[in-house]
């Protein structure tokens, strides 16, 4: 999760049933290290209690316009303090007041005094959402310093089905914080390729896909738009089997990417002639021969194709880790190579932990000590992306 240490988040809550969901949003900001201040409209307190909001935010909850904290009126001091200001849920009533400059409670007054972006997450009945006056007001606000986080469609608390449900909290969180990989497109491959022999048999390897999945999650959490290409089933993955299939998907998506992570274990060879029918046991012979032909080297082919992405390869070595890795980064032509030692049983293939060296094309080598694949993924993204200027 993103680090919001030192940031003050102002959460404005208005009087809609979705107010209860915003309790969890406050927790998400708190977990990320933020100082959270809450302004509730008097109507919001019909749906959640001041005590709940106070406990979750660990701050006093502001409701009344005339609670004077210091020499500045409260609506000015709260507006000055906030690094991020989000109003969730934003009711039709509050949206309309904001669009018309009405300041009849503390929240609308703070919003009027706030000069930076205000994130607005509307939630209301679907007919109210579609009402032309509300849509006109939202249009007016989007042309000003407001960013609208659109509601979702689905079953509404009022019993209707339609658009108007508060956007999911992760979407609100990601939209409001300045995630370092926001707007970046990252393609990640995962798992071992599956090279068919016949309709029931194949050649593959022990790759579990865990490193690729951990990278996909870490990149997503940092705001990236992730394309996961995998041989192992996983949420939102584009499923492929063979190296050739994987290469097609990767090359097709390459032009749009800002980075490609080839975490998949790609088979170097495939069966020359895949049998259409199941191969039968041959009586009278104890040996059969499968002829293998070389697979494309996907990583090399990416590096040789015109692109503007940071290209990261992975290598699993059972001996001479660094010497082999150094040779490989030059041979493949990638920007970075993540090397791990598969002779060790406690890390790498199938395990939840890893220990890697990050080699860069300028000769640099950095070690990430043994830790979970989740932490390795975060460290890789931090070292490669957040320090790269490409």
CB of 127 to ligand CTP, least distance (A): 52
Which two structure tokens, joined as six digits, stand for 14?
Answer: 């208005």
DSSP 176-202: HS--TTTT-EEEEEESB--EEEETTEE
For ligand CTP, the closer CB: 7 or 328: 328
CB of 382 to ligand CTP, least distance (A): 20
For ligand CTP, the closer CB: 118 or 218: 218
Exactly one of 19, 262, 271, 310 binds ligand CTP (CB under 6 A); which one?
Answer: 262
For ligand CTP, the closer CB: 119 or 349: 349
> Which residues lie across from 339 on neighbouring strands?
315, 357
Residue 376's region, left for phi above 0, alpha for psi from -120 to 50, else beta, is alpha
CB 349 within 8 A of CB 207: yes
CB of 264 to ligand CTP, least distance (A): 5
Q: Per CB under 6 A, does 314 bind ligand CTP?
A: yes
The torsion angle over the Cα atoms of residues 69, 70, 72 and 75, rounded to 10 degrees, is -10
Helical H runs in 32-91?
Answer: 50-57, 74-81
Nearest CA to 211 out of 388, 352, 52 is that of 352
- C-alpha 229/C-alpha 104 separation (Å) is 52
Exactly one of 106, 315, 368, 377 binds ligand CTP (CB under 6 A); which one?
Answer: 315
CB of 235 to ligand CTP, least distance (A): 21
Q: CA 5, 91, 48: angle at the middle one, nearest 5?
A: 65
Name the pairing type of β-strands 353-360 and 365-372.
antiparallel
Q: Which stretch binds ligand CTP (CB under 6 A): 43-51, 74-82, 264-272, 284-292?
A: 264-272
Three-state DSSP class for 162? strand
Q: Per CB under 6 A, does 316 bind ligand CTP?
A: yes
Q: Per CB under 6 A, does 268 bind ligand CTP?
A: yes
Exactly one of 90, 260, 299, 356 binds ligand CTP (CB under 6 A); which one?
Answer: 299
Q: Per CB under 6 A, does 295 bind ligand CTP?
A: yes
CB of 205 to ligand CTP, least distance (A): 9
Q: Which stretch binds ligand CTP (CB under 6 A): 33-41, 42-50, 312-320, 381-389?
A: 312-320
Exactly one of 53, 95, 298, 376 binds ligand CTP (CB under 6 A); which one?
Answer: 298
For ligand CTP, the closer CB: 40 or 358: 358
Q: Which stretch binds ligand CTP (CB under 6 A): 49-57, 114-122, 155-163, 262-270?
A: 262-270
CB of 212 to ligand CTP, least distance (A): 10
Name the pairing type of β-strands 259-262 and 237-239.
unpaired
# binding residues, ligand CTP (CB under 6 A): 13
Which two structure tokens, joined as six digits, stand for 121?
Answer: 């997450």
> Which phi and psi (to 5°) does residue 7 adopt?
-100, 145
CB 222 within 8 A of CB 188: no
Q: Per CB under 6 A, does 264 bind ligand CTP?
A: yes
158 classed as catalytic: yes
CB of 242 to ligand CTP, least distance (A): 11
Element (H, E) at 354: strand 353-360
CB 184 within 8 A of CB 225: yes
Given 158, 303, 315, 334, which residue is catalytic? 158
Q: Per CB under 6 A, does 229 bind ligand CTP?
A: no
Three-state DSSP class for 338? strand
Residues designated as active site: 158
Q: Which residues bind ligand CTP (CB under 6 A)?
A: 243, 262, 264, 266, 268, 295, 297-299, 313-316
């Amino acid at each position: 999760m993103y680090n919001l240490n030192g940031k003050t988040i102002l959460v404005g809550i208005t009087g809609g049933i979705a107010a209860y969901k915003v309790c969890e949003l406050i927790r998400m900001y708190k977990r990320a290290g933020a100082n959270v201040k809450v302004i509730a409209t008097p109507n919001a307190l019909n749906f959640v209690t001041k005590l709940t909001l106070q406990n979750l935010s660990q701050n006093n909850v502001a409701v009344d316009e005339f609670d004077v904290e210091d020499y500045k009126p409260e609506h000015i001091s709260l507006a000055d303090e906030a690094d991020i200001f989000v109003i969730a849920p934003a009711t039709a009533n509050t949206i309309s007041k904001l669009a018309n400059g009405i300041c009849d409670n503390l929240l609308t007054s703070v919003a009027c005094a706030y000069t930076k972006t205000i994130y607005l997450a509307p939630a209301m009945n679907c007919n109210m959402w579609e009402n032309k006056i509300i849509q006109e007001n939202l249009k007016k606000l989007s042309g000003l310093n407001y960013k609208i986080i659109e509601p979702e469609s689905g079953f509404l608390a009022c019993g209707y089905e339609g658009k108007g449900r508060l956007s999911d909290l992760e979407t609100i969180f990601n939209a409001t914080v300045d995630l370092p990989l926001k707007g970046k497109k990252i393609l990640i491959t995962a798992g071992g390729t599956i090279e068919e022999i016949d309709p029931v048999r194949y050649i593959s390897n022990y790759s579990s896909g865990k490193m690729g999945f951990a990278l996909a999650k870490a990149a997503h959490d940092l705001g990236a738009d992730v394309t996961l290409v995998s041989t192992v089933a996983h949420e939102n993955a584009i499923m492929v089997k063979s190296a050739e299939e994987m290469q097609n998907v990767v090359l097709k998506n390459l032009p749009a990417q800002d980075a490609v992570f080839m975490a998949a274990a790609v088979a170097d060879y495939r069966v020359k002639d895949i049998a259409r029918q199941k191969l039968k046991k041959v009586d009278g012979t104890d040996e059969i021969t499968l002829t293998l032909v070389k697979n494309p080297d996907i990583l090399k082919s990416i590096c040789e194709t015109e692109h503007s992405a940071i290209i990261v390869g992975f290598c699993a070595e059972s001996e001479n880790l660094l010497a082999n890795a150094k040779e490989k980064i030059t041979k493949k032509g990638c920007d970075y190579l993540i090397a791990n030692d598969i002779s060790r049983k406690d890390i790498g293939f199938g395990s939840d932990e890893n220990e890697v060296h990050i080699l860069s094309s300028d000769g640099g080598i950095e070690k990430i000590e043994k830790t979970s694949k989740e932490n390795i993924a975060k460290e890789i993204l931090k070292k490669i992306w957040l320090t790269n200027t490409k």
